[in-house]
Amino acid sequence: MTATMSPDETPLELSGVELRQLVDAAMERIIPHVDSLPSQPAADVAGGAELARSLVEPLPEHGVPVSEVLELVFERALPKSFNTAGPGYLAYIPGGGILHTAVAELIAAAVNRYVGVWIAAPGLAQLEANVIRWFCGITGFGSGSSGFLTSGGSLANFSAVVAARRNLLGDDFLSGTIYASDQVHHSILKAAMLAGFPAGNVREVSSDRVFRMRCDELAAAIAADKKSGHSPLMVVASAGTTNTGAVDDLQEVAAIARRHGMWFHVDAAYGGFFMLTERGRRAMRGIEQADSVVLDPHKGLFVPYGTGSLLVRDGAALKRAHAVGADYMPPMQQDEDLIDFCQVSPELSRPFRGLGVWLPIKLLGINPFRRSLDEKLDLAQWACEQLKQVDGMEIVAEPQLSVVAFRLTRPGMDTEALNRLNRDFLDRVNSRKHVYLTGTLLSGQFTVRICVLSFRTHRDRLEQAMEDIRAAAAAVLGG
């Protein structure tokens, strides 16, 4: 072969016909897979280590037929997993996986335009900027606000900490302290560490009986730190904790942060999009006073994993925290209404995430999302009422959003024995494989939780969950 190849000499260039064949071949696998999601086990990872090791392979020198590759992915690798896209996934915080976004991502990757800098694709960058504007609108942020799409909530929380640090403290920031409740997501601690803070600078504020941050303790902790020479930097409130879906008193936290000139951040990665509903808006009153907010479209907007967002009330603050130039870069936009995503975020080259949110919202309008989120709130409430009727069941946390936390109790049993009993209970529910639930520790007590967030979860699956829960409860309580 010569050094200069014509297009049909390199398999790296697919012809139109070949592209269509490849997509068709993938579709032949994708469609039956998606159709069978409801009947697939809710989780099945037994033998996962053996499977993983059996898939180790050297760098292939030559290609193999597409049928073989798809068979490996769909028949061997895929089945052993949590069925995160299925209706029975009620664990952790469920993701989504609307297929409109899968198509958008195909388009985004196929056109492969560059949206990291505005000048490289002004129109496409604007579509993504529109998504950010919509999110700011949902949050109640005004015209000076800004933000960007991230890979997820963890990275968005990281950028929020960096923005707070760079705007409020100088390079000498090690006296800066960060406050969050004992229910906050662990990505905040990780974010603080990655942003250069010693782990000890993150102050854990205790929570009340419904798992909301205690504002009296928050105020006391800030006062004590000021006295001892620290620089209280940032308060992180949760709008939907992972454990129980608890929403902190955002208005009160906002007032405390303002009083001390601190950055007020709201981690609404899970709960934020409930603001599309009447009940969610009520629960999150005060969020519009935040300096920054994290929303995860790959949770509450049901798009596939890989899209989170950070919104900042003062867009200029976000830019101050991130803008770094270089001689080989094209000119950046100076107009307030045009955005270079590389100037407000850690990334330069990046996927065109915006299309994956923009396209489904344009195709469907926001209403189907709103209705589905309302349904999730109803389902969690319904599950809670049903759980109350199970003998020996204690509701540990009523739904504030779409999480309900519960455990079995038995008179006279100590904590350790009860924890064992509830772990056994959880295992029995999950072993039926209709639903997959997870547990957590709340004040040292092992607690089971249901989190309803998948757009594919409806009443029928919750009824199945209740049947499995009643059977498992009866079995472990010996009833």
Ligand X SMILES: *Cc1c(COP(=O)(O)O)cnc(C)c1O
Binding site for ligand X (CB under 6 A): 93, 152-154, 185, 187, 238, 240, 242, 267, 269-270, 296, 308
The residue (of 272 and 315) whose beta carbon lies closer to ligand X is 272
Pick from 31, 66, 312: nearest CA to 167: 312
Least separation in angstroms between residue 261's CB and ligand X is 25
Question: In this complex, which beta carbon is closest to ligand X, that of residue 268 or of residue 344?
Answer: 268
At its nearest, how many Å lie between ligand X and the CB of residue 436? 17
Nearest by Cα to 312 from 131, 139, 127: 139
Closest distance to ligand X from the beta carbon of 160 (Å): 11
Provide, rounded to whole angstroms, the least separation between the CB of residue 296 and ligand X. Answer: 5
Identity of residue 9 = E
Closer to ligand X by CB, 240 or 286: give it: 240
What is the DSSP secondary-structure string of 191-238? HHHHTT--GGGEEEE-B-TTS-B-HHHHHHHHHHHHHTT-EEEEEEEE
Q: What is the DSSP letter of 264?
A: E
Of 176 and 308, which has the nearer Cβ to ligand X? 308
Minimum CB–partner distance for residue 141 and ligand X (Å): 19
In the bound complex, which residue of the shown chain has the CB atom lying closest to ligand X? 153
Q: Which residue has the tokens 């406050």?
A: 179
DSSP assignment of 78-107: TTSEE-TTSTTB-SSS-----HHHHHHHHH
Both tokens assigned to 413: 């049993």
Measured CA to CA, the distance from residue 322 to residue 38 in angstroms comes to 44
- Nearest-approach distance from CB 453 to ligand X, in angstroms: 10
8 A C-beta contact, residue 180 and residue 236: yes
Using the structure block, give the residue that is written with the tokens 């100037």: 343
Beta carbon nearer to ligand X, 41 or 147:
147
With respect to ligand X, which residue has the nearer C-beta, 88 or 272? Answer: 272
Between 139 and 187, CB nearer to ligand X? 187
List residues bridging with 178 in a β-sheet: 202, 234
> Please, what is the minimum distance in Å from the beta carbon of residue 294 to ligand X?
7
- Spatial distance between the Cα atoms of 377 and 318, rounded to a whole number of angstroms: 33
Round to whole Å and give the CA distance between 388 and 82.
Answer: 28
Q: Residue length, the chain?
A: 479
Q: Between 276 and 393, name the residue whose CB sits nearer to ligand X.
A: 276
CB of 191 to ligand X, least distance (A): 9
Buried b (16+ CB within 10 A) or exposed e, 84-102: bbbbbbbbbbbbbbbebbe
